[in-house]
Amino acid sequence: MKKQDRRASMNQELMTLDFWQDTVIYESKTFPVGTLACDALNVPVNTIAKINEQCEKINLLLGILNAGQDASALCPIAKEAALTMLDILSQTPPFSYMNISKHRERIEKVFTVDNALKYVEFAIKAATNSLQFEEIQNFTDAMMLQRYTAVFGHLAYSLGEYQTAMLDFAEKTDGNEADRTAEGFAKMFGSYFPPEFSITEGNAWMSTLNNSVQYVSVIRPGEKVAKLVKRMHYVSFVGMFRSDLFEGLCVGHAPKKCKICGKWFLTTNARHTKYCGGYAPGDKLHRTCRQIGNLKGREQRELADDHPVKQIYEKRLNTINRYVKRGTLDADLAEVMKKLAKDKMLRALSNVAYAKGAYEKEMDQAALKKEASAKIYKERDKHE
Q: Where are the domains of the chain?
A: 3-250, 304-383
Structure-derived torsion over alpha carbons of residues 372, 375, 377, 382, reported in degrees to the nearest 10: -160
Identify the pLDDT of residue 5: 42
CB neighbourhood size of 138 (10 A): 12
Identify the pLDDT of residue 44: 95
Q: Is the pTM of this model over 0.95?
A: no
Tell me the CB-side half-sphere exposure of residue 153, using CA atoms within 13 A.
Answer: 20
Which long-range contacts link 295-300 to residues 24+ away (Cβ below 8 Å)? none
With beta carbons less than 8 A apart as the criterion, state whether 205 and 189 touch.
no
Identify the pLDDT of residue 149: 93
The DSSP output letter for 280 is P
- Could you list the mean pLDDT of each consecutive 10-residue stretch along the chain, which spans 384 residues? 41 81 93 95 96 96 87 92 97 95 94 90 81 83 91 92 88 76 84 62 50 87 90 88 92 90 88 80 83 67 63 90 90 92 84 82 92 85 65
β strands within the chain, DSSP E: 16-20, 23-26, 29-32, 212-218, 227-233, 254-257, 264-267
Identify the pLDDT of residue 169: 85
Identify the pLDDT of residue 66: 84
Identify the pLDDT of residue 340: 93
